Chain A
Amino acid sequence: MGKDLIQKSLKDSLFTGIIALALFGPIVGLRTVAKNEVLVVEPKWFVVLLIVIFCAVGRFFINLYTFRKEQRRGEQSSFGKAVSNFLDEKGAQIAIAAIAFSIIFPFMPFADRYWMDIAIMMMTYIMLGWGLNIVIGLAGLLDLGYVAFYAVGAYSYALFAIHFGWSFWICLPIAGLFAGMFGILLGFPVLRLRGDYLAIVTLAFGEMIRILLLNWYELTKGPDGLTGIPRPSFFGLPFKRYPDEGVETFHTFFGLEYDPMQRIIFLYYLILILALITNAFTIKIRRLPVGRAWEALREDEIACKSLGVNPRNTKLTAFAVGAMFGGFAGSFFATRQAFISPESFTFIESAIIVAIVVLGGMGSQTGVVLSTIFLIGLIEVFRDFESYRMVAFGGAMVLIMVFRPRGILAKRKPTIMMGKHG
């Protein structure tokens, strides 16, 4: 630790400061505001000064303490490995504990409306993450347009429920089927493309569906959205304070006081069950030939082809199954909100779901849960700083990729192996 190092670090941090000034000077320092319909510039040099000092000093200390040590990247850290091993060994017990916790969660003393809403939102994202995990984690296809299937599920549920008055339990499978069919329809032409091209094409499809929903006014009411989507009922018993004449409701049937929380708790269990079905399905199908083919295809497509696996059909099943679960989640979303519009299905939603899957560690079911809690929690914590929360979100995506490119829990072990693990 010589003078040389300090001098070098000082020089470097000065450079960092200059770059930070160039970056933040114009964009942060000169805020454009409209005054009397004309844009004027409002200087904010103090903020820029703070940021620049922070960057330079931060860089100086990073340099001093790491001695410019090159980080070993791309490898799972010992901590990550330990967590991963721990989860592998105690996986079953932890899963049971987690499920038990989620079952008793609504009856916890702190579980008020706010917490229940967050829990339902997280569950929805966990389900979407598990659905997309089939596509990205198992089959290795980066799908940046997953929200399209979510949207197709939501809209087909809403349209069937509004126009035909069918109940939730009939519309749900129909919505899933529709989304799955869309998956096949969209997947068929594009699935032979390489990874990054596929990502862009799926993104384009996602946006096309949104533009279609926005402009097909006769069917979707465009930007106004669909309102009055029927709420789900408890096996035919609606959750209403003042039911129609002669209709028994949930609270009268069970002899309870009416409480709006009953419906929330029911919705919570509904999404919990749907998510667990998704999870159980994934765990099962990984062991079946088609699931094994997905994993093999992810690892080496050419080897698969030479072994007689049809890549397109195999990928298509993954795409369709993933889309179907997206459709289920979409119909849940529609029934929970009772209102849907294309605004809920923007590209950023796809990005969030992809982030959940990738940051959790592609292919890891537990990873999806952990990263959902982390990312959705992050967005919630930053709720009061509305405009900074997506900055934090994107930053987290970059940081995790840089320090753990395989995700928090990277699971590349094949589900089924020959030999002693088998």
Chain B
Amino acid sequence: MEYFLQQLINGLTLGSVYGLIAIGYTMVYGIIGMINFAHGDIFMVGAFVALISFILFALTGISLPIVLMLVLLIAMVFTACYGWTVEKLAYKPLRKSFRLAPLISALGMSIVLQNYVQAAQGARIKTLQPVIQGGFNFFKESDFVVTLSYLQIFIVLVTIVLMAVFTLLITRTALGRAQRACEQDRTMTALMGINVDRTISMTFIIGSSLASVAGVMFVMYYGVIDFYIGFLAGIKAFTAAVLGGIGSIPGAMLGGLLIGLIETFWSGYISIEYKDIAAFTTLVIVLIFFPTGFLGKPDIEKV
């Protein structure tokens, strides 16, 4: 029971990270119908920006809450630049091209980002000293002490706040309306006087900032990153997006939590060597038997 509870806590934390990345996939898919293969690497760039800022702020001696806010902000801004640029360079010219062209371009972009970070920052893994330490312990008298660390609380809280802000943004603002309109019919939206290009750019900026927040959390939670983390995290987050129903934003969060739980329980109870297989198997099973996910709309092919 205690073990189960611990896995649940860990799973929810991990799931928050995946969920934030998954939103980027699902938004881009909803609006331009492509799988943004480079999104995982955008997340990786966010983690690196966070790592660098943590090291720099450690020298200044600013108090922890302000540092956290600043790092989140810096990571969001700089990573958003990456998302914006990638869209402008690699996807925008291909918007009217055949279906697989943007996917291949995204693949190329993902290779570029990975190797660029490797060249600029070195191939060795980077370790960050723990930023937030300590936590609550439960069941102290049993054999297995369940720990809920402050860091985990921080991660889940930030995710909840961001989700709330983001939901408001999508449902209540002009930008959100424009975006939902673009998802339904881009040509018609353009005729209504909405700048479609700008809306798509904003989608990439928002998606990348959320991914960068996931990057900040990843680097704090694991404390170890390298230039390759985006690949696996990207696939898992994509699985989350599909599981929740691609195109659906609450679905992405739900899918993220589920993938986080599946992965933690798999490595907790079955086999830790094959923990990545768990995500891949889920992906395959979901796509084959359940392609619309939990909250997705069925995909009807028109002739």
Chain A residues proximal to chain B, CB less than 8 Å: 19, 22-23, 25-28, 30-34, 38-41, 71, 73-74, 142, 144, 189-190, 193-197, 199-201, 203-205, 207-208, 211-212, 215, 302, 347-348, 351, 354-355, 358, 387-388, 390-391, 393-398, 401-402, 405-406
Give the docked Cα–Cα distance between A22 and B288 (Å).
Answer: 41
Nearest 9 pairs of A and B residues by beta carbon: A397-B108, A394-B111, A394-B112, A387-B119, A390-B115, A401-B105, A398-B108, A204-B280, A405-B101
Give the docked Cα–Cα distance between A354 and B277 (Å).
Answer: 23
Which B residues, 117 to 164, have Cβ-Cβ distances below 8 Å to chain A? 117-124, 126-129
B66 at the interface (CB under 8 A from A): no
Chain B residues, CB < 8 A from A396: 108
Chain B residues, CB < 8 A from A193: 287-288, 291
What would 14 more interface pairs be, CB under 8 Å, given A39-B51, A195-B99, A401-B105?
A23-B82, A32-B52, A39-B128, A200-B238, A201-B283, A205-B284, A215-B274, A302-B303, A348-B111, A355-B104, A395-B112, A397-B111, A398-B90, A401-B101
Interface string of B59-102 (1 = CB under 8 A from A): 00000000000000000011001101100011001101111111
Given contacts A351-B111, A387-B115, contact A27 B120 (CB under 8 A): yes
Give the docked Cα–Cα distance between A225 and B268 (Å).
Answer: 28
Give the docked Cα–Cα distance between A25 and B113 (Å).
Answer: 15
When C-beta atoms are compared, the residue in chain A nearest to B127 turns out to be A39
Give the docked Cα–Cα distance between A109 and B281 (Å).
Answer: 53
Give the docked Cα–Cα distance between A33 and B273 (Å).
Answer: 30
B34 at the interface (CB under 8 A from A): yes
B35 at the interface (CB under 8 A from A): yes
B262 at the interface (CB under 8 A from A): no
When C-beta atoms are compared, the residue in chain A nearest to B112 turns out to be A394
Counting chain A CB atoms within 10 Å of each CB, which of B93, B100, B303 scores highest? B100
Q: How far is the CB of B184 from chain A (nearest CB, A)?
A: 20
B108 touches A401 (CB 8 A): yes
Give the docked Cα–Cα distance between A215 and B272 (Å).
Answer: 11
B56 at the interface (CB under 8 A from A): yes
Chain B residues, CB < 8 A from A196: 34-35, 99-100, 103
Given contacts A19-B81, A208-B280, A402-B90, contact A397 B115 (CB under 8 A): no
B103 touches A23 (CB 8 A): no
B94 touches A27 (CB 8 A): no
18 of the cross-chain contacts (CB-CB < 8 Å) are A27-B116, A30-B56, A32-B55, A34-B127, A39-B51, A41-B56, A142-B104, A190-B287, A195-B103, A199-B35, A200-B35, A203-B235, A205-B284, A358-B100, A393-B111, A394-B112, A401-B108, A406-B98
User: Which residue of the partner chain, among A31, A215, A402, contacts B94 with CB atoms under 8 Å?
Assistant: A402
When C-beta atoms are compared, the residue in chain B nearest to A40 turns out to be B55
When C-beta atoms are compared, the residue in chain A nearest to B86 turns out to be A398
Give the docked Cα–Cα distance between A28 and B116 (Å).
Answer: 9
Chain B residues, CB < 8 A from A25: 78
When C-beta atoms are compared, the residue in chain B nearest to A74 turns out to be B97
Counting chain A CB atoms within 10 Å of each CB, which of B55, B127, B284 scores highest? B284
Which B residues, 243 to 280, have Cβ-Cβ distances below 8 Å to chain A? 273-274, 276-277, 280
Give the docked Cα–Cα distance between A19 and B51 (Å).
Answer: 21
Give the docked Cα–Cα distance between A45 and B32 (Å).
Answer: 37
Say whether chain A's binding surface is mostly helix, strand, loop, or mixed: helix
B100 touches A402 (CB 8 A): no
B284 touches A190 (CB 8 A): yes
Chain B residues, CB < 8 A from A390: 111, 114-115
Counting chain A CB atoms within 10 Å of each CB, which of B35, B108, B283 scores highest? B108
B107 at the interface (CB under 8 A from A): yes
User: Which residue of the partner chain, among A200, A302, A388, A402, contacts B283 with CB atoms under 8 Å?
Assistant: A200
Give the docked Cα–Cα distance between A53 and B68 (Å).
Answer: 32
When C-beta atoms are compared, the residue in chain A nearest to B52 turns out to be A30
Q: How large is the interface on B (under 10, 10 to 19, 20 to 34, 35 or more residues)?
A: 35 or more
A397 touches B107 (CB 8 A): yes
Q: How far is the CB of B97 from chain A (nearest CB, A)?
A: 4
Chain B residues, CB < 8 A from A200: 35, 235, 238, 283, 287
A73 touches B287 (CB 8 A): no
Chain A residues, CB < 8 A from B99: 195-196
Give the docked Cα–Cα distance between A351 and B274 (Å).
Answer: 23
Q: How far is the CB of B234 from chain A (nearest CB, A)?
A: 10
B43 at the interface (CB under 8 A from A): no
Chain B residues, CB < 8 A from A190: 284, 287-288
Chain B residues, CB < 8 A from A397: 104-105, 107-108, 111
B48 at the interface (CB under 8 A from A): yes
B45 at the interface (CB under 8 A from A): yes
Chain A residues, CB < 8 A from B105: 397-398, 401-402
A32 touches B108 (CB 8 A): no
User: Which residue of the partner chain, among B98, B128, B235, contacts A405 with CB atoms under 8 Å?
Assistant: B98
Chain A residues, CB < 8 A from B126: 32, 34, 39
B287 touches A197 (CB 8 A): yes
Chain A residues, CB < 8 A from B81: 19, 22-23
B301 at the interface (CB under 8 A from A): yes
Give the docked Cα–Cα distance between A142 and B112 (Å).
Answer: 20
B203 at the interface (CB under 8 A from A): no
Chain A residues, CB < 8 A from B280: 204-205, 207-208
Q: How far is the CB of A361 from chain B (nearest CB, A)?
A: 12
Q: How far is the CB of B161 from chain A (nearest CB, A)?
A: 25
User: Which residue of the partner chain, among B93, B112, B231, B291, contacts A391 with CB atoms under 8 Å?
Assistant: B112
B109 at the interface (CB under 8 A from A): yes
B303 touches A32 (CB 8 A): no
User: Which residue of the partner chain, among A31, A203, A208, A212, contacts B122 with CB atoms under 8 Å?
Assistant: A31
Chain B residues, CB < 8 A from A73: 93-94, 96-97
Chain A residues, CB < 8 A from B101: 401, 405
Give the docked Cα–Cα distance between A38 and B78 (Å).
Answer: 24
Counting chain B CB atoms within 10 Å of each CB, which of A347, A394, A396 scores highest? A394
Give the docked Cα–Cα distance between A190 and B288 (Å).
Answer: 6
Q: How far is the CB of B113 from chain A (nearest CB, A)?
A: 8
Chain A residues, CB < 8 A from B127: 34, 39
Counting chain B CB atoms within 10 Å of each CB, which of A26, A199, A347 scores highest? A26
